[in-house]
Amino acid sequence: MKADYKHGKFTLANTDADGFTYEDYLDYCEGNGIEPGDEYSDDFDDWRKEESSICFDEDLDNIENCKEYNVPVLITGNLGLWWGKPEIEAVRMESVIDAVHKCLRSADYGALIEWEDGEIHVYSYHHDGCNSFTIRALSKKGQAKQYAPYKPEDTKRLPYFYAIGV
């Protein structure tokens, strides 16, 4: 059965280090001539965080280098603050990576970036909670609107970039 890359939810980038196992760490240590710490050591935890950071940066590079993502986009969403969840005013950016970086400004506790049904969702975790943003590509009609309020018909789907050409 072939995967449906026009619908569904796929992770594009994640700062979570839980995907790295102790066995991965042991393989890394063996391959690099390093004496491994035990499963509950700071060495293992530091390695997981470093690997997660490297993967996150590489995933952002993939987003930046995807030509289909080098298009004007619109950011909508809300801020997760201690006193509530105010909605932001829609913000136009000139590319997906520019929008992602803007969404991640307060992500001091981590981030998750997902593609879902043609939209990119960015979850930026911080000391008050989680800011939640949606990034949509602007249609030709939406791109022509520099300062007017945007409507749903001013946006279009973004492809899932790991499935482009599939």
123-162 per-position pLDDT tens digit:
999 999 999 999 999 999 999 987 778 888 899 999 998 7
- Collapsing DSSP to helix, strand or coil, 125 comes out as strand
Angle, nearest 10°, between helix axes 42-65 and 96-103? Answer: 140
| Residue whose tokens read 């939209």 | 119
Mean pLDDT, contiguous 10-residue spans, the chain (166 residues): 77 90 96 95 95 95 95 96 94 97 94 96 96 97 86 92 67
32: left (phi over 0), alpha (psi -120 to 50) or beta: alpha
Parse the chain into domains and list their residue ranges: 16-64, 71-163
Cα–Cα separations (whole angstroms), residue 84 to 74, 79, 105, 130: 23, 8, 19, 11
Cα–Cα separations (whole angstroms), residue 135 to 13, 21, 25, 55, 132: 14, 32, 35, 21, 10
* pTM (two decimals): 0.90
